[in-house]
Amino acid sequence: SHIAQPGGPHPVKTRESRHRRRPSSPALHRPAAMAPAKWLMHWHPNPGVTLNTQILSEACGCAESLGGTKDGRWKTSIIFYRPMTRDGAGGAQQNLPPDVPRELLGVALHERPGLYFSILRNQRLVLQADAAFSQVMEKLQSFKARVNLNFEGFQYQLGDFCLRIGKCVPNNTETLRGIMMEVEYYPLSSIEKSRAIMVDFFDIWQETLAKKSLPGRFIHVESNFAEYGLSDHYSFQHTAVQYATCLQQLMAAVRA
């Protein structure tokens, strides 16, 4: 079968029955370090427009109009850490030694609950550790958690694709900081080989969303994986880096 819109781009090939043929966890049939190729996109509102949950509802409606089947909820968390100073504060940066990172991002991915990813953006490092690493960070008191953000929403199965559409909110509040989506393509782990299919799907998605006349659009900003020493074969480290890139874009949109 195909996903296609009248007058739209080339159709994207999909499987006849996702529920009959898809294993419970696609990553189980791949090497542990590899995962299906994925794009992260964030909602970029038009100038002067305030984010609201209607945009999230409309995006979920688009997934269903393309034939997507709702398949539960998902949640990814990011903690923004600052280094602790000698007086125990996590704010002042000017007295830190030059070799101490000014920030650290901790990422807990929904699809890998047993792992924790740490990102040093200025040093272009992404590290994978056990989920208990965040507790180790607290006990060492070398870095202090400053902001805790949750990305959460609904998951949709759509042929060979998985869509996750959600909101970005601070922990324990409902203050909307952003809207984003993941698009995962199960058959391929190669970033380059999946690029054309992802572009086609994104074109179809944008065309479908445009019919809603919403005040903004989804944007995909490519992360420079090579800077982090990551290969063409997609891994969960790639996803963590994409979340760091997405977070930067969302925060820039809020400040604008």
Distances (CA, A) of 140 to 84, 123, 133, 143, 252: 10, 21, 10, 8, 31
Q: How far is CA 183 from the centre of its chain?
A: 9
pLDDT at 103: 86
- 188-198 residue pLDDT tens: 999 999 999 99
Residue 8 resides in a domain: no
Task: Return the closest-CA partner of residue 183 out of 26, 27, 39, 8.
Answer: 39
Which is more confidently placed, 167 or 34?
167
pLDDT at 256: 54
Q: How far apart are CA 169 and CA 226, in angstroms?
A: 30
Which is more confidently placed, 32 or 114?
114
Q: What is the CATH number of the domain that holds 123?
A: 2.40.320
Segments forming the whole domain that contains residue 121: 38-85+100-229+239-254
Task: Return the closest-CA partner of residue 176 out of 209, 146, 152.
Answer: 152
Residue 94 resides in a domain: no
Residue 81 resides in a domain: yes
Which is more confidently placed, 84 or 107?
107
Alpha helices in the chain (DSSP H): 18-21, 53-65, 133-140, 191-210, 236-255
pLDDT at 253: 61
Q: How far apart are CA 80 and CA 66, in angstroms?
A: 36
Is the pLDDT at 1 greater than 60? The verdict is: no
Residue 22 resides in a domain: no
The lowest-confidence range among 21-25, 135-139, 224-228, 236-240 is 21-25
Domain tally for the chain?
A: 1
Q: How far apart are CA 203 and CA 160, in angstroms?
A: 16
Order of strands across the sheet that contains 143-158: 125-130, 115-120, 104-108, 69-83, 143-158, 161-170, 178-185, 37-45, 216-219
Over range 147-170, report the average pLDDT: 96
Is the pLDDT at 9 greater than 70? The verdict is: no
Residue 189 resides in a domain: yes
Looking at every residue in the chain, the average pLDDT score rounds to: 83
Residue 2 resides in a domain: no
The rounded percent of the chain whose pLDDT value lies above 90 is 59
Residue 21 resides in a domain: no
The lowest-confidence range among 57-71, 95-109, 154-168 is 95-109
- 86-136 residue pLDDT tens: 655 555 555 666 666 778 999 999 999 999 999 998 899 999 999 888 888
Is the pLDDT at 24 greater than 90? The verdict is: no
